[in-house]
Structure 1
Amino acid sequence: MSPTSPRIAIVGVAGRMGRTLVAAVEQDAQARLAAGIVEPGSSLAGADVGELAGLGKLGVAASDSLEAVVDNFDVLIDFTAPQVTLANLAFCAEHGKRIVIGTTGLSGDELAQLDDYKAQVPMVFAPNMSVGVNLTLKLLQTAAKALGDEGYDIEVIEAHHRHKVDAPSGTALKMGEVVAESLGRTLKEHGVFAREGQCGPRSDNEIGFATVRAGDIVGEHTVMFATEGERIEITHKASSRMTFAKGAVRAARWVAERSPGRYDMQDVLDIKG
C-alpha cells in the first residue's frame, strides 16, 4: 500500500451517501476505490459500482459481503446504521483494516463499544466529516468560553431532509457537547430536547435543541447565544453531501498512516487543542 493512496472500500454504495462517496474517491488523486458493498442478498451484487453512482463503468463490482473483498482494501468507509457499523468495526479488528465511521444515531452504549476496539483498529469517528463543520466546532468552543457564563442563553437549531431517522442530528449533539464542555456543563444535566405546553420559563444554564425535518435539506446547524440587547449566531449550511464525502475520503487517507486509536476530524485537520 502506498501511504498516500489507500485502497478504499465503501459500505452501502447503492445509497445516497454511498454513491456520493464513490464520486468523492474518484475525484481524489490520492485515493483508490477498491471495493463497494451492498446489502447481503441484494440484486445489485455484481453491478459496477461506478454505474450505481451514475459515473459509468469503473471496473469495481459491488459485493454483498466484506469477506469476499477482504484482500482488496485497506480502509473501510461506513455511513450506515449503528448495528451494521459495529459489526463492520469488529470485522476490521479481526482482519487488520482501518475504518472511517460517519454513522449517526449511536447510543451511549454503542459509542462506548467503539472504544472497545481503539487498541486494535485505527478509526476516525465523527458525526460530521465536513471540514467547515469541524472548524465551526472550534468557533463554538471559543464563543462558549467568552459568552456562556455571562447571561447568554444557548440554543441549537438544526434542519435536515425528511428521510433522516435520528434527532437531534449527531452534529447538533456534538455542537451542544462542545459548548457544554467549554462551560463545565453536561447535556445529560442541562440539555433540553423538547418544549411543549406550560413548560415554564427558561433556566439560566440549559442548552436547548430544536429540530426541523423537511424536504431535501442536506444539513443546516445554528448555535444561538442570546442575551438582553444582542444575539450571536454561528451557522453552518451544507448544500451537498459531497462536503461530507470529501471529508471522509480525507480522513481515510489520514487514518491509513495511523496507529490504532479512536480519532476524530479535528485530529485529521490538526486543529485539536
Structure 2
Amino acid sequence: MADSTGPISLTVHGAAGRMGRRVVALGLADPSFQLVGAIDHAESPELGKDSGAVAGEAPSGVEISSHWPALDEKSIKRAVIDFSLPEAIDGCVQHCVEAGSPLVVATTGLTEEQKQGLSEAAKSIPVVWAPSMSLAVNLSMKIAEQITAALKDVSGGLDVEILERHHRFKADAPSGTALKFGELIAGQLGESTSHVHGREGHTGARTREEIGYHAIRVGDNPGEHTIVFGMLGEKIELNVAASNRDCYASGALAAAKWLIQQDKGPGLYSMFDVLGMSQS
C-alpha cells in the first residue's frame, strides 16, 4: 500500500540553472521535502556533480542527471518543479503525464502551443503554472486589477504603462509577468485594448485603448515591475521588486506543497489558487 506520510519526493527540472539551484537549496532546507531528482540537459557541465554542492549547500546525495529518477512506488507524495527553458519544457511535461506526477511550471516564455500542451496535460495530472511564483507579485496583480476596475472610466481617461527590469541574461521580453499584468488589466479595460511594445519615431498621440510595455535588461536584477496608472493631474505607480531569487523558489515550493497537501486532482491551477485568491 502506498505511504501517504513522510516528506514529498521532489524532483527539480533545470536543477543546474540559476533558479533551479535555489529551488534545490531551499528544498534541502525544508523538512517537508526529500530531494530525489535533479535534472538538467544532456550537455550541462554540471552533470554527475552533487546537486547540493552545485547549489552552494552541503552535499545532497543526489547527482545532477539528464535522466529522470525511478519512481518510488511506496510514496504517493511526489512532485516536479520545472525552472528550465521553453525548449526543455515539453519533455518534462511528457514525463510527468506518464509518471502521474503533479507538476509546478515556473518556466516563462512559453509558446501558445506549449501553453495548450499544459492545458492538455492538466486533464490527467494537477499542474500549477504561473508567470511568476512570487507572493508579492501575485498580490500586486490583484491590486492592479482593482485599480483598473476603479479608474477605467475616470474623466479624462486612464493610461497604463508597464515597465519591467530584469538581469542581462534573461532571454524573453517582455517578461511573462509583465504580460500577465497586461492580460489582467486588459480584462478590466475591455476587448478593444491593444498592446504596444516600446515606442519609436513619430508615433502620434497615445490612444486611450493601449497598454504600453517597456523591457529593461540591466546587471543582475532578479525582477522588478512598475505599473503606471496615469490620469490628467495625478498618477499611481505600483512597484513590486525582488531583492533576490529566493522569493520565486520559495513560491514554487509552496505551490508543490499546496498540490500535495490539498490532494488536488487533475487541473490547471495558478498562484491565485495556491494563495486562495482565485478569480472565481
Q: TM-score range by the shorter chain?
A: over 0.9
Change (3 A) 1:4 1:123: farther
The match for 1:259 among 250, 256, 265 is: 265
Change (3 A) 1:4 1:56: closer
Residue 31 (structure 1) aligned with residue 33 (structure 2): yes
CA distance in 1, matches of 2:243, 2:28: 20
Q: 1:61-210 to 2 correspondence within 5 Å?
A: 61-66=63-68, 69-72=69-72, 74-150=78-154, 151-185=157-191, 190-210=194-214
Contact map agreement 2:17 2:84 (CA 8 A) in 1: no
Report how many aligned residue pairs link the two structures.
269
Of 177-186 and 249-258, deviating more is 177-186
Contact map agreement 1:134 1:265 (CA 8 A) in 2: yes
SS in structure 2 at match of 1:201: coil
CA distance in 2, matches of 1:93, 1:60: 23
Equivalent residue, structure 2, for 1:5: 7
Q: Deviations over 1:4-24 (max 9, x none)?
A: 731110012211111111111
- One-letter code aligned to 1:123: V
Change (3 A) 1:7 1:163: same
CA distance in 1, matches of 2:70, 2:152: 49
CA distance in 2, matches of 1:266, 1:161: 26
Structure 1 runs of 4+ aligned residues shifted over 6 Å read none
Pairwise CA distance, 1:41: 4.9
- One-letter code aligned to 2:99: H
Q: TM-score, normalised by structure 1?
A: 0.94
Contact map agreement 1:10 1:21 (CA 8 A) in 2: yes
Q: 1:209-248 to 2 correspondence within 5 Å?
A: 209-248=213-252
Contact map agreement 1:4 1:253 (CA 8 A) in 2: no
Unaligned runs of 5+ in 1: none
SS in structure 1 at match of 2:121: coil
Change (3 A) 1:3 1:253: farther
CA distance in 2, matches of 1:25, 1:46: 20
Change (3 A) 1:83 1:41: closer
CA distance in 2, matches of 1:267, 1:129: 12
CA distance in 2, matches of 1:214, 1:252: 31
SS in structure 2 at match of 1:144: helix
Pairwise CA distance, 1:200: 0.7
CA distance in 2, matches of 1:225, 1:164: 26
Change (3 A) 1:165 1:43: closer
Of 41-50 and 117-126, deviating more is 41-50
Contact map agreement 2:13 2:92 (CA 8 A) in 1: no
Q: TM-score, normalised by structure 2?
A: 0.91
CA distance in 2, matches of 1:30, 1:251: 13
Change (3 A) 1:222 1:244: same
CA distance in 2, matches of 1:36, 1:154: 41
Contact map agreement 1:156 1:221 (CA 8 A) in 2: yes
- One-letter code aligned to 1:87: G
- One-letter code aligned to 1:249: L
Change (3 A) 1:111 1:3: farther
